């Protein structure tokens, strides 16, 4: 470990941009392959854990404690699977066969996570990074009277470990035994690292610390990495071994206060070494610095630059993958407050006066957990019929999509909370200048208003989710008295000169609306965003006159678009859209929310000039233009 001198700041600022470009380029080209490997991880773990629970039940003849422990261990491992989610990137370069990938990752993964479980017990971690209860926490709750929660947790960890090792030695699982010895050797080194970590401050020298990180972190990572590259032949491998050491140094900056409290070694606890590099050093004393002492900051900056050089020498796609990982880490470093004074901080708006979420609509579940915590996720049932019965469909961005077996509605669980969704929306508010979706909606506004004019019992119209106000403008021309509501402050302010106080910025939730007595309510592409559409529709119905007409449009899961593109259809976005309807489930929702006389509306074609290549293909195949499901529904009359 060399603490270099000299200012690396300007070079680092230039690096950021280069890494961003490489990351986008990689994701553009390979996101589908990443997604395939990622879903195989989930599937492989689910299979392995189901097998384990089954075996435990059989072997113990249904013993309660055994079953409970296997259950809790499974739950923890299932949650921790996001710690595997670098592997799909590396797999894109190494290209293991999908079948083999699924089995070896599950096997090596169980060994890898068993060490995590032991570590939780040693350090008495009851929460994983303050986000999720650990297995130790679960067993302590389930067996409160038992003196042996820690012992039981160790036993559960051993169970996971042996399950993984047994799978690798299974003669029917061809090719897995190749991973066995490297995994065992790395696991042994990681265990030695865990022992070394218990040394007191008098032992904390730079060479000690460097070795500790190699064993406790890099070898630990190797237990998992072996699954995809048992012979360590990938050109990525030398880069990654150094990269994971750097990742640990960044963790140290983050965990400094906690490590100090626990009396554990930390990068920041090392003062600069003597020229011979072996002088013992004392724990860092004094308050936690803004991010890190300048020497440490310089050392980390040099590490980034050296790794960037190493990445540059790699072939493609290895180079892009290395740059993508570096890009993530550089951003993480900046979030910790490192390198800020060098002007390399990313440009993100902070509209709320609160810390930005650092999430975007294409963020995956791992980023959500890392940046917003697991409390930003919630498990839900079907929002249409409340049933818990469901069939797993696929994953996108790491989120699981299910079809309700009761009413055929498609939804996500767990999903982000409505509050986080609104926060992300706020942070990206106004970024839709090139949104072709809104342009298509503009084309639909005329025919919709014509239809509504012929059906409405009166002229008061509310457009919920008025967006750019196209429909409001057209409706006004058709003689409606128009009101608009939108969650986007930017959109509302844009329309203010034209519609004044008939606009409100609000999120349609389960709260009361401020106006009443509408003859028409339009909700075009709103309901699919809502956490609880039934509650929101109940509020909408309250502000409608008897005989009033609701026009509702959502993406149609029975459309040709969904059949052809499946989860690649851009409508399928777990952070943007919580609900995915078809005619059956939307009708049920409307009826149960008190609407009647439902009628499907056939959409007018999109004008030529606005048609895309895909749209023309859809027409050829006999599909509708927007893959949209539009319906009219009526509030029952007085009599």
Q: Applying CB under 5 A, which residues contact Zn ion? A: 382, 384-385, 387, 404, 406-407, 409
User: Angle of helix 533-542 relative to helix 583-592, nearest 10 degrees?
Assistant: 50
Q: What angle do CA 148, 150, 154 make, to 5 degrees?
A: 115
Contact 137, 51 (CB under 8 A): no
HSE of 380 in the Cβ direction (CA atoms, 13 Å)? 30
Question: With respect to Zn ion, which residue has the nearer C-beta, 267 or 410?
Answer: 410
CA dist., res. 297 & res. 256, Å (int): 14
Closest CA to 326 of 257, 264, 247: 247
Question: With respect to Zn ion, which residue has the nearer C-beta, 402 or 518?
Answer: 402
User: Angle of helix 318-335 relative to helix 9-59, nearest 10 degrees?
Assistant: 100
Contact 474, 637 (CB under 8 A): no
Residue 473: how many CB atoms within 10 A of its CB?
17
CA dist., res. 449 & res. 546, Å (int): 20
CA dist., res. 331 & res. 312, Å (int): 19
CA dist., res. 197 & res. 265, Å (int): 7
Burial of 626 (0-12, 13-18, 19+ CB in 10 A): buried
Question: With respect to Zn ion, which residue has the nearer C-beta, 321 or 404?
Answer: 404
Question: With respect to Zn ion, which residue has the nearer C-beta, 139 or 585?
Answer: 585
Question: With respect to Zn ion, which residue has the nearer C-beta, 366 or 381?
Answer: 381
Question: With respect to Zn ion, which residue has the nearer C-beta, 591 or 616?
Answer: 591
DSSP structure string for 472-528: HHHHHHTT-EEEEEES-HHHHHHHHHHHGGGEEE---SSSPPS---EEEEEEES-GG
Q: Which two tokens stand for residue 492?
A: 């509302």
Question: With respect to Zn ion, which residue has the nearer C-beta, 352 or 387?
Answer: 387
Burial of 270 (0-12, 13-18, 19+ CB in 10 A): buried
Question: With respect to Zn ion, which residue has the nearer C-beta, 123 or 592?
Answer: 592
Rounded least distance, CB 537 to Zn ion, Å: 15
Burial of 445 (0-12, 13-18, 19+ CB in 10 A): buried
Rounded least distance, CB 305 to Zn ion, Å: 54
CA dist., res. 566 & res. 572, Å (int): 8
Closest CA to 106 of 16, 39, 44, 43: 44
User: Cis (ω within 30 of 0) for the bond into 301?
Assistant: no
Question: With respect to Zn ion, which residue has the nearer C-beta, 533 or 623?
Answer: 533
CA dist., res. 590 & res. 541, Å (int): 10
Rounded least distance, CB 592 to Zn ion, Å: 11
CA dist., res. 102 & res. 81, Å (int): 13
Rounded least distance, CB 590 to Zn ion, Å: 14
Rounded least distance, CB 580 to Zn ion, Å: 11
Contact 193, 184 (CB under 8 A): no
Closest CA to 528 of 593, 600, 580, 592: 580
Residues 6 or more apart from 638 whose CB is under 8 A from it? Answer: 546, 547
Question: With respect to Zn ion, which residue has the nearer C-beta, 384 or 626?
Answer: 384
Question: With respect to Zn ion, which residue has the nearer C-beta, 199 or 388?
Answer: 388
Rounded least distance, CB 387 to Zn ion, Å: 5
Contact 139, 153 (CB under 8 A): yes
Rounded least distance, CB 381 to Zn ion, Å: 8
Rounded least distance, CB 570 to Zn ion, Å: 24
Question: With respect to Zn ion, which residue has the nearer C-beta, 185 or 385?
Answer: 385
Rounded least distance, CB 484 to Zn ion, Å: 31
Rounded least distance, CB 105 to Zn ion, Å: 33
CA dist., res. 323 & res. 308, Å (int): 7
Q: What angle do CA 129, 132, 138 make, to 5 degrees?
A: 120
Rounded least distance, CB 431 to Zn ion, Å: 33
Rounded least distance, CB 559 to Zn ion, Å: 19
Q: Which long-range contacts (CB under 8 A, 24 or more apart) does 217-220 make?
A: 217/193, 217/244, 217/245, 217/247, 217/248, 218/244, 218/245, 218/248, 219/186, 219/187, 219/189, 219/190, 219/193, 220/112, 220/115, 220/186, 220/190, 220/193
Rounded least distance, CB 407 to Zn ion, Å: 3
Question: With respect to Zn ion, which residue has the nearer C-beta, 384 or 449?
Answer: 384
Question: With respect to Zn ion, which residue has the nearer C-beta, 399 or 411?
Answer: 411
Rounded least distance, CB 593 to Zn ion, Å: 14
Rounded least distance, CB 635 to Zn ion, Å: 24
Question: With respect to Zn ion, which residue has the nearer C-beta, 93 or 382?
Answer: 382
């Amino acid at each position: 470990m060399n603490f270099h001198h000299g200012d690396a700041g300007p070079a680092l600022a230039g690096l950021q941009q280069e890494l961003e470009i490489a990351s986008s380029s990689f994701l553009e080209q390979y996101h589908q392959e990443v997604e395939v490997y990622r879903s195989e991880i989930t599937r492989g773990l689910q299979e392995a854990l189901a097998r384990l629970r089954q075996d435990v039940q059989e072997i113990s003849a249904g013993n309660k404690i055994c079953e409970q422990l296997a259950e809790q261990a499974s739950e923890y491992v299932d949650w921790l699977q996001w710690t595997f989610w670098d592997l799909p990137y590396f797999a894109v370069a190494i290209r293991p066969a999908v079948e083999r990938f699924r089995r070896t990752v599950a096997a090596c993964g169980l060994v890898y996570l068993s060490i995590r479980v032991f570590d939780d017990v040693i350090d008495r971690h009851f929460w994983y990074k303050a986000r999720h209860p650990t297995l130790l926490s679960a067993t302590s709750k389930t067996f409160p009277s038992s003196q042996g929660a820690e012992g039981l947790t160790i036993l559960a960890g051993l169970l996971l470990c042996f399950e993984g090792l047994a799978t690798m030695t299974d003669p029917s699982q061809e090719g897995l035994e190749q991973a066995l010895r490297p995994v065992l050797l790395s696991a042994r080194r990681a265990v030695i690292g865990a022992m070394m970590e218990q040394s007191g401050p008098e032992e904390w020298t730079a060479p000690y610390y460097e070795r500790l990180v190699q064993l406790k972190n890099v070898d630990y990572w190797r237990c998992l990495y072996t699954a995809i590259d048992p012979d360590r032949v990938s050109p990525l491998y030398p880069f990654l071994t150094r990269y994971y050491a750097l990742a640990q140094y960044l963790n140290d900056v983050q965990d400094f206060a906690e490590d100090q409290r626990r009396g554990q070694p930390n990068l920041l606890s090392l003062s600069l070494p003597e020229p011979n590099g072996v002088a013992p050093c004392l724990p860092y004393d004094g308050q936690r610095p803004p991010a890190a002492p300048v020497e440490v900051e310089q050392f980390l900056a040099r590490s980034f630059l050296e790794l960037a050089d190493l990445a540059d020498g790699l072939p493609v796609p290895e180079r892009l993958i290395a740059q993508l990982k570096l890009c993530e880490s550089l951003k993480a470093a900046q979030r910790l407050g490192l390198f800020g004074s060098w002007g390399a901080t990313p440009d993100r708006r902070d509209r709320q006066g609160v810390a930005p979420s650092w999430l975007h609509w294409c963020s995956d579940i791992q980023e959500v957990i890392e940046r917003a915590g697991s409390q930003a996720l919630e498990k839900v049932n079907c929002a249409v019929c409340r049933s818990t019965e469901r069939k797993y469909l696929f994953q996108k961005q790491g989120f699981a999509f299910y079809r309700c077996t009761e009413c055929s509605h498609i939804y996500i669980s767990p999903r982000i909370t409505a509050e986080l969704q609104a926060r992300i929306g706020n942070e990206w508010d106004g970024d839709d200048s090139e949104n072709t979706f809104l342009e298509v909606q503009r084309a639909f506004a005329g025919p919709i208003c014509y239809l509504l004019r012929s059906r409405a019992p009166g002229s008061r119209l509310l457009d919920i989710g008025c967006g750019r106000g196209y429909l409001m403008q057209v409706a006004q021309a058709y003689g409606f008295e128009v009101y608009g509501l939108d969650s986007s402050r930017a959109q509302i302010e844009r329309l203010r000169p034209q519609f004044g106080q008939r606009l409100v910025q609000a999120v349609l939730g389960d709260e009361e609306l401020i106006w009443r007595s509408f003859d028409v309510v339009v909700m075009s592409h709103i309901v699919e965003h809502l956490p609880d559409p039934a509650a929101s529709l109940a509020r909408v119905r309250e502000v409608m006159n008897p005989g009033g007409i609701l026009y509702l449009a959502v993406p149609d899961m029975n459309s040709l678009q969904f059949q052809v593109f499946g989860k690649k259809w851009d409508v399928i976005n777990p952070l943007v859209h919580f609900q995915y309807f078809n005619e059956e489930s939307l009708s049920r929702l409307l009826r149960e929310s008190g609407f009647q006389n439902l009628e499907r509306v056939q959409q007018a074609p999109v004008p030529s000039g606005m048609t895309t290549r895909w749209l023309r293909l859809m027409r050829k195949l006999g599909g509708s233009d927007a893959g949209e499901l539009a319906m009219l529904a009526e509030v029952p009359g007085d009599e």
